Amino acid sequence: MKKRIAITIAAAALMFAAPAKQTFTGVITDSMCANADHKAMNMGADAKCVTECVKAGAKYVLYDGKQAYVLSDQKTPEKFAAKKVTVTGTLDAKTKTIQVDSIAAAK
């Protein structure tokens, strides 16, 4: 009985210690350019630059106008390349990575 209570208390403590989900709004871009301006790359449309940079090894990131955050989901952002989105997830501040729960076009 005491063991069961201890496990329940430990589980509850872990739930409260888990980072809270947040909502982030910004533009889907790539870690090579790391901002919303792709003109210097001379590839035409920004979306093309983003997808080409990712094909070359860059990662999809969310740029909020100040900071670029790597996204844990590297498949869903493809359809939002160079578009403003809202990402729901958990931020790891040390690695500047968002553990993505969802991505949707910003309203």
DSSP state string for the chain: -HHHHHHHHHHHHHHHHSPPPEEEEEEEEETTT-SS--GGG--SSHHHHHHHHHHTT--EEEE-SS-EEEES-SSGGGGGTTSEEEEEEEEETTTTEEEEEEEEE--
What is the pTM assigned to this prediction? 0.77
Topology adopted by domain 20-105: OB fold (Dihydrolipoamide Acetyltransferase, E2P) (2.40.50)
- pLDDT tier at 5 (50, 70, 90 boundaries)? low
For 48-102, what is each residue's pLDDT tens digit? 889 999 999 999 999 999 999 999 999 999 999 999 999 999 999 999 999 999 9
